[in-house]
Structure 1
Amino acid sequence: MHFDVIIIGGGPIGIACGLEAQKKGLTYLIIEKGPVVNSIFNYPTKMQFFSSSERLEIDNIPFISTEVKPKRNEALEYYRRIVTSNSLNIHLFEEVLSIEKEENFYIKTTKNNYTSSKIVIATGFYDVPNLLNIPGENLPKVTHYYKEPHYYSRQKVAVIGASNSSVDAALECWRSGAEVTLIIRGNEIGSRVKYWVRPDILNRIEEGSIKTYYNTNVTKITENAIEINTNGKLQSLKNDFVIALTGYRPNFKLLELLGVNLSNNEKKIPQYNPETMETNITGAYLAGVVCGGMETHKWFIENSRIHAKQIISNILQNK
């Protein structure tokens, strides 16, 4: 099966690219390894966006939410309805295994083989967690994703991280009856924590409801404890579960398979033309958060939805 363009990633930006391709009469296919907007589906159940609903809109399709800042379930319905009502050509639960470039792009997935004249990588960053790389990280008690607090009620839970996701997990688990310990590598709560949540977590820390260790790293995880290092001081804390929310990274393996150049430093920023979003590989484009490499905080739905028009416009010019 040959297409004018294949879009890898069925998140909001991948969907936006599909909509734009459809409007311009291109044959296209969106390939998504999970359900529609897989990353949002994997967000915590009660998660509320930092952005207001109009900033999450794509293709000028209104997003109406009960509050100014929508919640996960509202976003799932919004993007799902866009896919359905526009009859987008999207294959779900199909993972890309390899990409080769000759005259065309050759894409092999878990279900089929395809060719395309152009390709768009819109895979986001939520699929690959940043690992701690310490003994015990692969124990069943450890997770790098947090869904809801009920599971952790009346348990000793260590939450690792200082971001929005870490703070939300710590507060929700504590309110559900968990004994929460917050482990933070730096000396304060993250600067980008939602402004309406920051006072809550700081008050819980100050009153001692959530025990917090700053300037601390977890060095080992065992069945019944975690070992930590606070400025050279070693301690062992009793523990039932570890929620390690230490951030995520783009699928660099996929970019490397394609041959996209990455910056020669820890940021791993891929090479692309910011006017067209085309990479150093002719006909291969980047869209959304994947453009930022390890700087995942720089791109959001609201400032990368424009990528769809940039990419499809350039594809039409070079068709």
Structure 2
Amino acid sequence: MDNLVAFIFAVIVTGFFMLSYLKKQKKIEQEALESAEKGKLRSDGPQSQHPHIDANYCIGCATCTLVCPEGDVLAMLGGKAVIVNGYKCIGHSLCAEVCPVGAITMVLASPSMGGDMAYLTPQYETITIDEGEIGGTVAKYPRQKLVMTSPVEFPMYGKFKKMQLSKEELIDFWHKVLERADFKVRQGEKVEDIKKGEDGIFTVMTPRGQYRTHSVVLALGKSGSPRKLGVKGEELPKVMYRLIEADHYVNKKILIVGGGDSAVEAAMGLGHQVGNKVTLSYRKEAFGRIKEGNTQRVQESIRKGKVKVVFNSIPAEFKENSVVLEVNGKQEEIPNDFVWIFAGGQPPTAFLKKIGIGFGNQDLTSTGSKEAKQAALAQA
């Protein structure tokens, strides 16, 4: 009799914990499905290097979903890991490193972006070119802007383990690495052309001279020249595309145009300066492609009144002392001293074609939303 009572008690306790576990798993998968839908609505999937998960090998351990520093990029659906917020992925590859069965490989962007992707073959040598100052894009960030990094080991220097730091700290670190390695840098030299001779040697041409080399690495990025909106008055000197020092602007009426990390960070930086009234205009109904940390910070800035966000709006005209916004089809004119536009850039596709790099669609992987949909169907 005692054994029967103990058995019934054990069944009840086990059943309670099993029901709790299943309920929790159902909630997690429901949130993952909602995230997948949100990802499909707000982006075209991963924008650069990102994970591709082979469902045939995935054992459902969920380790990959826990290590990503960018938040809920991956989630478990139907017992398999899938991409649910591909637009947040910036290619850390930590998920691929921790997968115990090698089910994750890092691939380039989705086929829909393949037309702007260089077509590479094993026969090509690697090539590197830079323009401007040391630090590139990071050097253009607002003062003290935090830069997300991942642990990395530099040859001839050692490990660098910081995950967050200011742009000044990062640039200072790079200078130390270059000094220790006695690395020769030529700044402010724009490459105009690259030609390969019959002897297999490349000639790199700049306004200052020519350089012969066995190999070249192109590290141009995708931003290129700032993308203009084509709005009346955009040629006014108060309209800019790059913010360097936010603290140079105080007691000003400012408009920021854009909905990415650069726009949000600029708005927050300017919003915390004395007397500034900052309005951020974004053409969509919500932010959908900014980092998790920026999402929290901008919400706090909005709550404190440091930044005013106008969704579903686009600039209609820039004037000397005001701007006209089109909000939900209606025009509103607001006082304005300065405008910053963060609408991305024109990629250096023309230059790449000029030097002989081919382009074409590359069906490298399926997008995250497709993986999520397949897993959801399999679960059903």
TM-score if structure 1 supplies the norm length? 0.66
Structure-2 residue corresponding to 1:92:
187
In structure 2, which of residues 254, 264, 267 is the aligned counterpart of residue 167 of structure 1? 264
Structure-2 residue corresponding to 1:136:
233
What's the CA shift for 1:114?
2.3
The SS at the match of 2:158 is coil
Structure-1 residue corresponding to 2:138:
40
**Structure 2: which amino acid aligns with 1:185?**
R
Measure, in 2, the Cα distance between the counterparts of 1:87 and 1:187.
50
Aligned residues of 1:105 and 1:115 also touching (Cα < 8 A):
yes
Structure-2 residue corresponding to 1:51:
149
Structure-1 residue corresponding to 2:176:
81
Structure-1 residue corresponding to 2:167:
72
| RMSD (Å) for aligned C-alpha atoms | 2.8
What's the CA shift for 1:190?
3.4
What's the CA shift for 1:108?
1.3
Measure, in 1, the Cα distance between the counterparts of 2:352 and 2:224.
14
Write out aligned runs for 1:1-319 (5 A): 31-52=129-150, 54-55=151-152, 57-59=153-155, 61-63=158-160, 65=162, 68-103=163-198, 104-176=201-273, 177-193=275-291, 195-206=292-303, 208-263=305-360
What's the CA shift for 1:61?
2.8
What's the CA shift for 1:249?
4.4
Query: Which of the pair has more CA radius of gyration?
Result: 2
Q: Which has the higher helix share?
A: 2
Give 5+ residue unaligned stretches, structure 1: 1-27, 265-270, 274-319
- TM-aligned CA distance change 1:135 to 1:61, over 3 Å: farther
Structure-2 residue corresponding to 1:25:
none
Measure, in 1, the Cα distance between the counterparts of 2:293 and 2:349.
34
Aligned residues of 1:161 and 1:183 also touching (Cα < 8 A):
yes
Measure, in 1, the Cα distance between the counterparts of 2:167 and 2:197.
40
Runs of 4+ in structure 1 off by over 3 angstroms are 28-32, 57-60, 206-209
Aligned residues of 1:226 and 1:239 also touching (Cα < 8 A):
yes
What's the CA shift for 1:126?
4.5
What's the CA shift for 1:263?
3.7
What's the CA shift for 1:187?
0.9
Aligned residues of 1:63 and 1:78 also touching (Cα < 8 A):
no
- TM-aligned CA distance change 1:87 to 1:126, over 3 Å: farther
Query: 1:201-257: CA deviations, max 9, x gaps?
Result: 224335654222111111221211212222211222211100112223432232121
What's the CA shift for 1:113?
1.2
The SS at the match of 1:197 is helix
- TM-aligned CA distance change 1:83 to 1:249, over 3 Å: farther
Measure, in 1, the Cα distance between the counterparts of 2:145 and 2:223.
15
Greater Cα offset, 204-213 or 250-259 = 204-213
Query: 1:96-139: CA deviations, max 9, x gaps?
Result: 11223342433210111123333221122344222222222222
What's the CA shift for 1:78?
1.6
Aligned residues of 1:31 and 1:90 also touching (Cα < 8 A):
no
- TM-aligned CA distance change 1:225 to 1:91, over 3 Å: same
What's the CA shift for 1:198?
2.0
Measure, in 2, the Cα distance between the counterparts of 1:158 and 1:225.
10
TM-score if structure 2 supplies the norm length? 0.56
Aligned residues of 2:128 and 2:218 also touching (Cα < 8 A):
no
- TM-aligned CA distance change 1:35 to 1:203, over 3 Å: closer
Q: How many residues align?
A: 236
What's the CA shift for 1:64?
5.5
Measure, in 1, the Cα distance between the counterparts of 2:288 and 2:144.
20
Structure-1 residue corresponding to 2:96:
none
What's the CA shift for 1:159?
0.8
Measure, in 2, the Cα distance between the counterparts of 1:51 and 1:181.
29
Give 5+ residue unaligned stretches, structure 2: 1-125, 365-380
